[in-house]
Amino acid sequence: MSASPVRRTLVDQAVDRMRLCLERGEWQVGERIPIEPELAAQLGVSRNTVREAVRVLAYSGVLEVRQGDGTWVRSAVDASDVPQDLSRATLREHLEVRAMLEVEAARLAAERRSADDLEAMRAALSLRGEHLNKRRRSVFVEHDLAFHRAVVEAAHNPALAKLYAFFERAVRATVRATLDLDDLPEPDYAAHLRVFEAISRGNSAAAVDASRALLQPMLDALDPAAPRRPARHQADT
């Protein structure tokens, strides 16, 4: 049993070195990587270790094992690293990325929204309302997310929708954080309403301005040069 941790470590090292080959462009998308014996010699590990490392990267969608035809590069990006990288990002970094996604989504939504899209946004906004202490925080957060999700859906860009869905866990965390920090302004109902009204009018410039204005006060409050106060701990009742 003592050999198991060592084996995992060797596999991890092999995976890291294979990722480096991808990042450096030594292996291009659509190309076949070296066969198992060559790769074992190149990495200085056993063929079993190479086999396990290939399995890890195939599972994450980077490599594709074709029986009888070797292993091919499917993607130069390993998405399995993204959740861990996001967890290390700061709140301000999360908000900056969120702003990029939501501002562009608002612009596209103003140009492409349908009547059903507007109804979905209106319903979500109505449920969101203002943040009231008598409501459970988790319920408020989900209603807030539903509005932003509806805006993204109204952009009618499947790639953007998938990207936002992937990032939604981080968005949920930023919304919760705005309720936990005394000096972090939580966007109110009126600010959200301005986003909806601009989209409803089909005014993409106004939608961009309103969406950016929604998050900018929080970004300003999180400026590294600004004085900070400790977070308050609030029970989710």
**pLDDT, tens digit (0-9, with 9 covering 90-100), for 99-144:** 999 999 999 999 999 999 999 999 999 999 887 655 677 788 889 9
Domain boundaries defined on the chain? 3-77, 89-221
Q: How far apart are CA 112 and CA 158, in angstroms?
A: 13
Domain 3-77 - what CATH class?
mainly alpha
Q: Is 234 exposed, middle or buried (0-12, 13-18, 19+ CB in 10 A)?
A: exposed
pLDDT band, very low/low/confident/very high, at 87 (cuts 50, 70, 90): low
CA distance 191 to 135: 20
The number of helix segments (H) and strand segments (E) in the chain equals: 10, 2
Query: What's the whole-number average pLDDT of the chain?
Result: 82
Range with top average pLDDT, 11-20, 40-49, 99-108, 125-134 = 99-108
What is the predicted pLDDT for the residue at 20? 86
| DSSP code for 45 | S
The pLDDT of residue 182 is above 70: no
Identify the pLDDT of residue 208: 97
Average pLDDT in the 11-37 region? 88
The H or E element spanning position 70 is strand 70-73
The CATH number for 89-221, chosen from 1.20.120.530, 1.10.490.10, 3.90.550.10, 1.10.40.30, is 1.20.120.530
Pick 201 or 221 by higher pLDDT: 201
Euclidean distance between CA atoms 13 and 53, whole angstroms? 9
Least confident of 60-69, 109-118, 227-236: 227-236
Letter for the amino acid at 36?
E
